[in-house]
Amino acid sequence: MTNNKTEESSDDVDQIQLNWLKNIYQGDRIPQLTLRAIIMGGILGSLMSISNLYTTLKVGWAFGVSITACILSFVIWNSIRLFFPKLSPMSILENNCMQSTASAAGYSTGATIGTAFGAYLLITGKHLDWTVVLAWTFLTASLGVFLAIPMKRQMINNEQLPFPTGIASAQTLRSLYNKSKDAIEQAYALVSSLIAGAIVGVLSKGDFAWQKLLHLKLPELIPFSIRFSNVSLQSFPGFGFEPSLLLIGAGMIIGLRVCFSMFFGGILLYFIAGPMLLLNTNDLEAPAKLIKWSLWTGTALMVTSGLTAFALQWKTIVRTFTSIKKTNSNSETLQAEADLAAIEVPAKWFFAGIIPLTCAMAILEYVAFSISLPLGILSVIMSFLLALVACRATGETDITPIGAMGKITQLAYALLAPSNITTNLMTASATANTAIGAADLLTDLKSGYLLGANARKQFLAQFIGVFFGTIAVVPAWYLMVPNKLALEAFNPPSTNMWKAVAEALSYGIHIVPVSARYGILIGGTIGIVLALTDHFFPKFKKYTPSAMGLGLSWVMVFANSFSFFIGALIATIWTRLKPNNAEKYIIPIASGAIAGESLACAILAIISAIAALAK
């Protein structure tokens, strides 16, 4: 399918709907919304929410859980059946329903809680009350679920937008249930890499003597000391190599262009800009402050490139609000409409959810953050409008511009509520959380549509998943990050970026060091130029650096950028030498490594926090 369905006639749309009902829909014939599917999805999604919380703090990225959950569910359930052979296999639509529960739990909650709330902790030095975080996480994730209702039928049924990850998830499930040899081998590869990632996570985190074996640092491999002025390169924070399968796996998924840009940017920072900064200062603590200085340049680069790219998507924005079409009213299509009405989520469900959620969100913003009711309601309206755009961008490109969504809200509220950093942070959080939830859930609904699922049942599975994710990720947040020092130890790239933007917009540019102001100007200009180049000269895209990669390299430490680059290099060489083998195994192996190590490290962080509290 292509994304040109908006130009097709209503007769074509009617024919698509009729064909789907007659030849694909099977939601009433085989099990779908079952207790075992919900429990399996809730458990896997809860674990993935904690995993995504860790990866968000560690590398500033969150990873989709749908394909990983599908494969794990298939393997786990069939393993259980070895001991209980009377249990029936889980149907393909049950597994798809499980995927919806897992995604709502793991992505629309775990991927967002560490940014705005983390920035609040860094700025104020204290946590928000857990009841506020719990309510906020639940309400924003639920808004994303309900906002997906009116968009699903238009973008998926009528326009047939691709939602590439949704297509990949549906194909993965088909392969598993067809007992494809490749799919089974992919499943075993994912589980094996998950175990390997967990082992590396356990071995490399901690202070036991036997764990030191994996604490290999790049400076130890250099036979001489690199010095600039009176400070050696080894004194810079994070200069080295971290043996992390999580980072290497992330690099394998993200690709060489972005990861090479991260590596190149890290070289510029640590070998050129950092030493130049030290040559012009007598501050003995300057090496330790390097990332705090450079994040202004990296943040400016990512924000300007993201907003520029968003503005250049004006055609997508226009289509979002002009693409609704009416169908003809012949007898056959009227019957199809009636049949679809019994399958699709009814409009009354949308209003029954969105009205109380909007009221609850506005009241929570007022009570917890003193955001006026009009500004609180406006934040929900902005969330709805920007979620529409984010969902369409995801459907057409598989890229959700969450960074741009949050920054647009921050810019708007810098004018509406100047010098109010809490309002700036929390309204942007509401927009970003809602948009990311809606876009991810539409991706799952695309998978269900291709498999012939009942949309109502899948919606219920998604809504139930929000409860699982909220209950899991909120306590994990407080246990993993008990205080400001624990959060600073992560050196969280995305959290630092949210903090920097909120401070600059709320307190004014004077809070930024003079040298960093030049960095903001340079980084912002580079971001705009790169976004314009990517848009107007797409043929040269593979030869130009990634704005996201360059920006991140100045927000995270060199060791992380280096590991990302190693992962991308491995995937590139593998693809060149054995393309079919690489296509088969790279995603499962990388996904397993990310899930395994992030879960292990998150659990270790929680155990360490509990042990510290016990003392």
Q: Mind listing the pLDDT tens digit for each residue in 164-181?
A: 778 878 878 888 888 778
CA 542 to chain centre: 24
* DSSP for residue 272: I
State pLDDT tens for residues 90-122.
999 999 999 899 988 887 776 678 888 999 999
Query: How much is the pTM?
Result: 0.77
Helical residues (DSSP H) of 323-372, grouped into ranges = 331-343, 347-369
Q: Is 231 helix (H, G, I), strand (E, B) or coil?
A: strand
Q: How do 227-228 and 231-232 pair as beta strands? A: antiparallel
Tokens of 387: 């979620």
- pLDDT exceeds 50 at position 5: no
Query: For residues 161 and 169, what is the distance between their CA atoms, to the nearest angstrom?
Result: 15
Nearest-angstrom CA–CA distance, 119 and 496: 7
| DSSP 8-state class, residue 326 | P
Q: Is 309 within 8 Å of 531 (Cβ atoms)?
A: yes
Interatomic CA distance for residues 467 and 137, integer angstroms: 10
What one-character DSSP code corresponds to residue 91? P
Average pLDDT value for residue range 361-374: 91
Cβ count within 10 A of residue 186 = 23
- pLDDT tier, 573 (very low <50, low <70, confident <90, very high otherwise): very high
pLDDT digits (tens, 9 = 90+) for 278-298: 666 655 555 667 777 887 888
Range 266-271 average pLDDT = 87
pLDDT at 336: 61
Q: Tens of pLDDT along 463-485?
A: 999 999 999 999 999 998 999 99
Check pLDDT > 70 for residue 125: yes
Q: What is the pLDDT of residue 355?
A: 92
pLDDT at 26: 85
At 8 the pLDDT is 46
Residues of the chain with pLDDT > 90, as a percent, come to: 19
- 551 pLDDT higher than 80: yes
Three-state SS across 563-609?
A: HHHHHHHHHHHHHHHCHHHHHHHHHHHHHHHHHHHHHHHHHHHHHHH
Average pLDDT over residues 260-282: 80
| Distance from C-alpha of 415 to C-alpha of 421, rounded to nearest angstrom | 12
Query: Within 10 Å of residue 374's Cβ, how many Cβ atoms?
Result: 10
- Angle at CA 428, nearest 5°, toward 425 and 434? 135
- For residue 334, the model assigns a pLDDT of 61
Q: Which residue has the higher pLDDT, 129 or 234?
A: 129
User: Per-residue confidence at 540, pLDDT binned at 50, 70, 90?
Assistant: confident
Of the candidates 31, 120, 116, 161, the one whose C-alpha atom is nearest the C-alpha of residue 443 is 161
Average pLDDT over residues 521-537: 89
Flag the least confident range among 278-292, 324-338, 553-567: 324-338
What's the confidence (pLDDT) of residue 179? 75
Answer yes or no: is pLDDT of 57 > 60.
yes
Q: Answer yes or no: is pLDDT of 382 > 50.
A: yes
Cβ partners under 8 Å of residue 529, min gap 6: none
How would DSSP label each residue in 149-169? HHHHIIIIIIS----HHHHHH
pLDDT, tens digit, for every residue of 132-143?
Answer: 999 999 999 999
CA distance 191 to 588: 8
Task: Give the mean pLDDT of 412-419.
Answer: 80
In the chain, the percentage of residues whose pLDDT exceeds 70 is 83
Stretch among 146-150, 324-328, 357-361 having the lowest mean pLDDT: 324-328
SS3 212: helix
Res 318: pLDDT: 62
The closest of 213, 255, 134, 218 to 549, measured between CA atoms, is 255
Cα angle: 242, vertex 243, 249; to 5 degrees: 105
Identify the pLDDT of residue 7: 42
**pLDDT of 1:** 39
Q: What is the pLDDT of residue 13?
A: 57
Residue of 207 and 310 predicted with greater confidence: 310
Looking at per-residue pLDDT, the higher value among 384 and 13 belongs to 384
The whole-number average pLDDT for the span 426-441 is 83
Average pLDDT, the chain: 80
Residue 10: pLDDT band (50, 70, 90) is low
Q: Is the pLDDT of residue 238 over 50?
A: yes
Average the pLDDT over each of 221-230, 537-546, 587-596 and give the range with the smallest value. Answer: 221-230
Q: Among 19-23, 120-124, 533-537, name the most confident range.
A: 120-124
pLDDT of residue 464: 94
Q: Which residues pair with 231 in a beta bridge?
A: 228
Residue 111 burial by Cβ neighbours in a 10 Å radius (0-12, 13-18, 19+): buried
Weakest-pLDDT range from 115-129, 256-270, 348-362, 419-433: 419-433
Q: Structure tokens of 412?
A: 């708007």
Q: pLDDT tens digits, residue range 392-406?
A: 767 765 666 666 667
